[in-house]
A and B are shown apart, each in its own frame.
Chain A
Amino acid sequence: MNDNLKIIGTTSSAGGSFKDVKITGECKFAGDVKCEKMNLTGNANIAGNLHMKQMKITGEIALEGSLEGDSLRGQGEIKAASVKIDKLHLYGNLDVKGDCEGEKLQISGALSVAGLLSAEHLEIKLFGPSSAKEVGGSILTIKKSKTGRLLHMMKPTSKILFEAGLIEGDAIDLVNTKASMVRGERVIIGPDCEIETVEYRDTLEVHKHATVKHQVKI
């Protein structure tokens, strides 16, 4: 129950309950993993759920089940069926088949969430094409990543967009976003946005390089 697990090299494990898990290299877990701390440098594959308190990642993790915990930070790629982490700070790519929930979610890179992306405080620095079916929360910010802009200059491709069906929040600040509906108290629609309908309660600002088809004040 309270054993530590330390893996160096390429291994597989049945999974289980641990105190600290440290992986340097590659590991495949055949079942659920539960631990206090996880430190991953390399590659991990979990054929189940992962529940942890704290996690640091440099590399890749792919889960068949859900990823839950208090905090996660690092760089790399995360793939999971669903994500529920209070504080998530990731440089890289996040790919979620279901819902992604948290209190404070900061992502620099790209993300794709097939369900609801919900956070008290959401900050996305766009680096690559991203999408979410629905976004909901209190403070929602989508920015362009500075590194992304540099890369863009060297290799001009099509515009990087964040695409969503519905975005709802108290304070919403968007750039490079394509959405059918944005609803909020205070809404800022920045450059390169394409929004079908914006419904706002208090204020709305629309950048001159943005298109908003319908504006409704409630």
Chain B
Amino acid sequence: MEDDLISKKQLLDLTGISYGQLYRWKRKQLIPEEWFIRKSTFTGQETFFPKEMILSRIHNIVNMKDGLSLDEMADKLSDKASFEKVSITAKEIVERNIVSTTTLRKFGESLGDENKYTFEGLVHLFAVDRLLSAGEMSMEEAELLFRTLQEKVSRLENGSWELFFVRKMGVSSFILAQAPAELWFDEGVRLVSKMTYADLIEQLKGKLAYKLVE
């Protein structure tokens, strides 16, 4: 769990933003209150953030900044609906490096018209692509995962899920759970990867933010 968090100090070092900017964005609700996680450390109280989400959110803010006021930006970023309206062509997906060509060719067709990918459709492609390109899963497993996502996600309430990819004795399985979920496995199980829907959409939003400012 510790790996998923980043301290405020590390965050400022990594992104080059200032305290002033961070507090300004917090006031404007560009960074949600829930992301500020307080923990006691040996130096006293420290604030931590969910690493992947905050890094891509800051990347989004910095890249959207030109031409938009902070208030306009807050509206756009918090509004998932504006992303749901986005449609993107196969060519753009490849050019922008959102999903690899291999994944797109293999699974893209099943999502319908190749020139109009929707945000929700892309989330599944994006999830599969991340595991594939990390070399964590085989093509066969990718097929299983994609099918699972397509069939099962709609059954989860409020659409927020977490995915656990585990292997035991060479046999792999995917476990899809309602977020937030915590699972415990027996000793023989190796957790290959874990993904959350919230992380995925946050990253995808970053990659698609340019669509909103065009």
Cβ of B26 within 8 Å of any chain A Cβ, yes or no, is yes
Q: Chain B contacts of A218 at CB under 8 A? A: 9, 13
Asked if B43 and A197 sit within 8 Å, CB to CB, the answer is yes
Asked if B20 and A138 sit within 8 Å, CB to CB, the answer is yes
CB contact list, B11-45 vs A, under 8 A: 13, 18-24, 26-27, 43-45
Cβ of A120 within 8 Å of any chain B Cβ, yes or no, is yes
Interface residue SS majority, chain B: helix
Q: Chain B contacts of A118 at CB under 8 A? A: 23, 26-27
Nearest-CB distance from B117 to chain A (Å)?
A: 40
Interface residue SS majority, chain A: strand
Q: Chain B contacts of A197 at CB under 8 A? A: 43-44
Number of residues on chain B facing chain A (CB within 8 A): 14
Nearest-CB distance from B156 to chain A (Å)?
A: 34
From the candidates A101, A169, A180, A181, name the one contacting B19 in the complex (CB within 8 A): A169
Q: Chain B contacts of A47 at CB under 8 A? A: none
Alpha-carbon distance between A101 and B33 when the two chains are bound, in angstroms = 14
Alpha-carbon distance between A168 and B7 when the two chains are bound, in angstroms = 14
Nearest-CB distance from A13 to chain B (Å)?
A: 31
Alpha-carbon distance between A170 and B20 when the two chains are bound, in angstroms = 6
Q: Chain A contacts of B43 at CB under 8 A? A: 181, 197
Nearest-CB distance from B170 to chain A (Å)?
A: 47
Asked if A168 and B19 sit within 8 Å, CB to CB, the answer is yes
Nearest-CB distance from B43 to chain A (Å)?
A: 7
Cβ of A212 within 8 Å of any chain B Cβ, yes or no, is no
Q: Per-residue CB proximity of A175-200 to B under 8 Å, as 1/0?
A: 00000110111000000000001010
| Nearest chain B residue, comparing its CB with the CB of A185 | B18
Q: Chain A contacts of B21 at CB under 8 A? A: 138
Asked if B19 and A185 sit within 8 Å, CB to CB, the answer is yes
Alpha-carbon distance between A165 and B40 when the two chains are bound, in angstroms = 13
Nearest-CB distance from A134 to chain B (Å)?
A: 9
Alpha-carbon distance between A116 and B15 when the two chains are bound, in angstroms = 23
Asked if B27 and A101 sit within 8 Å, CB to CB, the answer is yes
From the candidates A138, A165, A168, A181, name the one contacting B24 in the complex (CB within 8 A): A138
Residues of B within 8 A of A (CB): 9, 13, 18-24, 26-27, 43-45
Q: List 25 A-B contacts (CB under 8 A).
A: A118-B23, A120-B24, A136-B22, A136-B26, A137-B19, A137-B20, A137-B24, A138-B18, A138-B23, A139-B20, A166-B45, A168-B19, A168-B23, A169-B19, A169-B20, A170-B18, A170-B20, A181-B43, A181-B44, A183-B9, A184-B19, A185-B19, A197-B43, A197-B44, A218-B9
